[in-house]
Structure 1
Amino acid sequence: MGNKGAIGLIDSGVGGLTVLKEALRQLPNEALVYLGDTARCPYGPRPAEQVVQFTMEMADFLMKQQIKLLVIACNTATAVALDIIREKLPIPVVGVILPGSRAAVKTTKTRRIGVIGTQGTIKSHSYRQAILSKTADTEIFGLACPKFVPLVESNETRSPIAKKVVAETLQPMRRNKVDTLILGCTHYPLLRPLIQSYMGDKVTLIDSGAETVGEVSVLLDYFNIANPDPTAKGKCRFYTTGSTKLFDDIAKEWLGFSLHSEHIELGIGG
């Protein structure tokens, strides 16, 4: 596969498109292949063993597409499956938690960092561990936001209900007076305007997925697998385990171009 192989991105649904959008911007020469497991989304409330199994099934599917590097563009999957997937695959595998943590540590002035994510991500304490490994004198406030992913997956990010849900959910986080807030789920940047508006201008939002693409760029150079040929530009393939229409509608709105995803089945009975 070498330099010509695509970069694979996997997510529990459409959230990883926020990472793909950044990859299109930062890595214009690279071909990208995306798989969203929308039929089994959300991953956040699921047991860790199930998330590992689903993530492995997605990784296996993309390995058959001859990918040269895999981005686990899902915080829940990164939290519980990254090390396992890294051991099993013969290619570099990148998660979204460490890059987001690094960016937050670099950004905060008050040493009060908030993390919002799925139940699985918050329960894993992965961000807390990653941040404290970089700086000990930091207060970290985690908050699970289980209603956010369904809002994004049902394409309701601009609805009045979304504004209400964001405000109600983030109330405890606003009381913590953080100056930096990690969007610890790749779905959350699709709610970014509402989150920023509620938290206020003095709070810096960290998009873990966007930060991850910088790490991918470094790894492509390190392993000498970057594609120098600009003819790959804009070559993207999209797969979903759920509705292709809903996926395509959300993707078009977020990415700014029309696309046609392909439906696939994963696991026993889909």
Structure 2
Amino acid sequence: MAAERAHGPIGVFDSGFGGLNILAALRDLLPSEDLVYFGDSARSPYGSRPADEVVRFSLEIGRWLVDEAGSKLVVVGCNTASAVALDALRAELAVPVIGVVGAGARAARRCVGSGRVGVIGTERTIASGAYQRALADDAGVAVACPGLVEFVEAGQTTGPAVRAVIADRLAPVVDAGVEVLLLGCTHYPYLAREIQAVVGEQVTLVSPAEEAAFEVAQRLGADGLARSGAVGSLRVACSGDPVVFREIGGRLFPGELGAIEQVPVEALECRRTRSA
């Protein structure tokens, strides 16, 4: 059974473009693995949505990744979904499910010395307390940053307007004088240059992407699901306009995304209804 499942792809999903940095990390670390990415661009962002809605969306996409795309493992590339929907996904899907909250916390704790770790994320992620619990004694200030995801989703990652909003949102982080700043949203690494300019070079920025990719590699090896040999394929789907997704995603992803498949929200909702 493991040998048969090993031929399936690794599935990754996000509310939009943020998880593309995890996709890139997986491609670099596991070049022989087939990858499938789903960006829920029609319903992005997740960060200000009610938790039960995020759980519902996550289950719909998780079922699509497993039932339709044949994924052997699912990576929840959205911090908000990882914070509120991970347990539901693990209970529902018959494949391993890996989130980014634990990965991000481990990476941050390795970087911190005698100081504290600050966390920035969406309103829903910060309100869940998931990162604060994962960081435990290393946790410092945790700040919600509404509006930053929307910049990335619009393809705007630098400039005076972006920096002004970042400076406003991160004022508590600067005041707290943290040693490490955990970017608790997969969209935020695309704003890293502006974030670093605001908090200062003395602060180490940490993204969960590479740590999550290492966790995937370890799990595939432990379960006998790893592939080797030829370079793997990439399949990309979104719920919104595929032309827009390709235009913006192509600027954010360090490689060729290929054709973008559209899976309308209605198709995801029908899958939920049929499995209910």
Bin of the TM-score, shorter chain as denominator length = over 0.9
Deviations 1:113-168 (A, max 9, x none): 10000000000010111111xxx3x3421000111000000111123311221122
3-state secondary structure, aligned to 1:10: strand
Counterpart residue number, 1:38: 41
> RMSD over aligned Cα, in angstroms?
1.5
Counterpart residue number, 2:172: 172
Q: Give the letter for the 2:126 counterpart.
A: I
Contact 1:239 1:263 in 2 (8 A): yes
**5+ residue gaps in structure 1?**
none
Q: Give the letter for the 2:27 counterpart.
A: L
Counterpart residue number, 1:256: 254
CA separation in 2, counterparts of 1:139 and 1:62?
A: 34
Counterpart residue number, 2:161: 161
Q: Give the letter for the 1:53 counterpart.
A: R
1:1-270 superposed matches below 5 A: 1-63=4-66, 64-132=68-136, 136=137, 138-232=138-232, 235-258=233-256, 259-266=258-265, 267-268=268-269
Contact 1:11 1:73 in 2 (8 A): yes
Count how many residue pairs are aligned between Structure 1 and Structure 2. Answer: 264
Contact 2:16 2:39 in 1 (8 A): yes
The offset of 1:202, in angstroms, is 1.0
Hey, which bits of structure 1, 4+ residues long, moved more than 3 A?
Answer: 267-270
Deviations 1:51-110 (A, max 9, x none): 000000000111121110000000100011101111111111000000110111111112
Q: Give the letter for the 2:42 counterpart.
A: A
Q: TM (normalized to structure 2)?
A: 0.92
CA separation in 1, counterparts of 2:41 and 2:20?
A: 12
Contact 2:24 2:254 in 1 (8 A): no
CA separation in 1, counterparts of 2:238 and 2:34?
A: 18
3-state secondary structure, aligned to 1:250: helix
Contact 1:111 1:139 in 2 (8 A): no
Deviations 1:13-69 (A, max 9, x none): 110001001111111111100000011111111111110000000001111211100
Deviates more, 1:116-125 or 1:244-253: 244-253
Contact 2:141 2:172 in 1 (8 A): no
Counterpart residue number, 2:274: none
Contact 1:104 1:113 in 2 (8 A): yes
Deviations 1:172-231 (A, max 9, x none): 211110010100000101101111121111111110122211100100101010011224
